[in-house]
Amino acid sequence: MIVLDQENRIFTLHTRNTTYQMKADQYNVLEHVYYGARIDNCELSELLQCGERSFSPNPNEAGKSRSYSLDVIPQEYSTCGVGDFRLPSIELELVNGSHTTDLRYKGFRLEKGKYTLEGLPGFWDTDEEAETLIIFLIDSAAHVEVELYYGVFEAFDLITRAVRIVNQGDETVRLCQCASLCLDFIRSDLDMITFNGHHLMERCLDRGPLRSGIQSVGSMRGISSHQHNPFVMLCDRDADEDNGICYGAMLLYSGNFEAAVECSQYENSRLVMGIHPYHFCWTLEPGGTFTAPEAAMVCSPDGFGEMSRQYHRAIRKHLLRDPYKGIQKPVLVNNWEATYFDFDAEKLVEIAREAAALGIGLFVMDDGWFGSRNDDNSGLGDWQVNLKKLPGGLESLVPRIKELGMEFGIWLEPEMVNEDSNLYRSHPDWALQVPGRAPSRGRGQLTLDFSREEVREHIYTQMKKVLSSADISYIKWDMNRSLTDVWSAGLPAGRQGEVYHRYVLGVYDLLERLHQEYPHILIEGCCGGGGRFDGGMLYYTPQIWCSDDSDAIDRLRIQYGTSFCYPVCTMGAHVSAVPNEQNGRRTPLKTRGVTAMSGAFGYEMDLSRCTADERDEIRRQVEMYKTHYELISCGDYYRLSNPFEDELFTAWEHVSVDKKEALVSLVAGNVRPASPFNRLRLKGLDVSLYYQVNHEEKLYSGRALMQAGYPIPEIRMDYQSLQLYLQAK
């Protein structure tokens, strides 16, 4: 709900549990007043205090008064060069060489429903569950208008932010920085939580107190990256899963980003989040516009868990465009770890036949089916079926898979090219590379210049021919390197600062074309696993391969960190063979299934090598997942332990919306002799209901299970697992 006090120029955004307030002051500066637990019918601008602060300049309008300074006032969209020395949200370069930006309130517009951003992903609204507020700011000297967009999804405690820049003058302006989100606090006693890591161990939670100065995470790799995720949190020092105020900020963007927090000299703090200013410079001709990607905020007065669940609910309902929405997705099997590049049609059909007998419903053909692709160094860019491996092409193979009762999926890496390919030999200038410099390679490949329309059109034409040749239900869209040598032959020297962003827009453009042309195809994103796991990609690819590390124990940490923002239905999670390819660890097949089941479930192994007992276990896992699919994919998710702290076990819980069902999963760590007896306190149950656990005769009250807990059976071997199914009686 958006409440306007036009007389006092106060704008209040209410969600179910939170309030966000801002005000245009006497000098037309848009001040940030409050963001926190819901407060009704209250004007809070008295919270903002002014007073003389030496070396904090005063705007010209203040005359001789020294008690008003932009360096002290919390603002909605910070500027630069006019007295605020904290993190700027925007930086303009005018034709005279100046970099000063001074934005003042000009007006507003209120709209029903949620705004949309052309060419960019965003939360969407079809039933007018959301409202939009647009506030207009103007730099009168630069003749540049800034439009601040606010989307309010009241039921989800979700407020989205976006920014549009318009050059209303007669001269060219260069945009050197344009953040999507600025959030000021009149306090600095907060912790910052980021989700960091590396390839094979992404999104590990990292928490620490804010300190004086600037702390930041980001990416300059051309992708959102394995190293840092474009989701951060700020919270009370003592906040935890169930208590304390916390703020989440997610950037819906898949390229270079930065999330920076500055604690100022006066013990306030500012979060600025958006496209990374590294190698970014956008030319705005007269009348030109630039739109920054969307950011999405959730504030929870009741700890991390409720913040996560609100993100999950909002993402599932208002971000994902999933062709399986309302329909159970099939369990998949992928042939990569079973065959790598060494396969033919008969081998693929053999794997599919084994999978179908176990209840698996989707067969995915991975890398190696096209061009001259027999290793990492050739074939990328030539998206034609290798008829030596697949005689008769997909037209012959896919019906054989379909006859088994399975759907068919295919692997693609459209953004990449090998030098040993017909495409590169014909169009070497279509790869990102700097004139006069030898290019660097990643996985033996170069990156196609997706900022250029003719490059995207060529790739799309090839993909369309493949996708139209057979009944294909699924695409795994892979991307196996970071961007280097970022220079485009399609732009002049003065506009090379646009290439990184135009590349991302090009990826979005091709994905949107595929979505419109083949709305029935599910696209799973992948970037060496989790290197591009962000809200922007989820808009186009409603599930993403969570990590190339498929080890069940490592995945406990990866999926734990990912869950703080992203719902489990978006996490591609597979059971793979042991010893694990990434770390050599051996874990029980049951445990691998329990871990992978809390995600978009599948298998990545040669099922023909399984023993009879292993096949029986896989059948049980597949049936278990199918039985509890709705509960796992659409239920509320509760973290019951922290795998970064709790050595004895990791536990989590799925609870149905009506609280009448729950599924609890637990995986043990390294077992110690004479270890203590433990109880697991559950969450999210109805205190007025009684629950049956795993069909035992005894009933447990919801209150008892949450307050006293459930006794964990003694575990005597490393990495064992158990699941508890609770049903209200």
**Which residues carry out catalysis?**
534, 614
Give dist(CA 576, CA 622) in Å, integer: 14
**Amino acid at residue number 667:** V
Residue among 48, 39, 46, 41 nearest 20 (CA):
39
**Taking the CB of residue 285, how many other CB atoms lie within 10 A of it?**
10
59 preceded by a cis bond (ω within 30 of 0): no
3-class secondary structure, 305: helix
Residues in the chain, how many?
729
Give the CA angle between residues 229, 234, 239 to the nearest 5°: 120
Q: What residues contact 558, with CB distance under 8 A and at least 6 apart?
A: 197, 201, 202, 203, 204, 530, 546, 547, 549
Give dist(CA 220, CA 500) in Å, integer: 9
Q: Do strands 721-728 and 144-153 pair parallel, antiparallel, or not at all (unpaired)? A: unpaired
Q: What residues contact 350, with CB distance under 8 A and at least 6 apart?
A: 608
Give dist(CA 53, CA 69) in Å, integer: 8
Q: What residues contact 663, with CB distance under 8 A and at least 6 apart?
A: 628, 631, 632, 635, 653, 654, 723, 724, 725, 726
**Whether the Cβ atoms of residue 192 and residue 261 lie closer than 8 Å to each other:** yes
Which CA distances in Å does 363 have to 460, 462, 576, 595, 726? 23, 22, 15, 21, 32
CA torsion sign for 25, 30, 33, 39 is: positive
DSSP 8-state class, residue 113: S
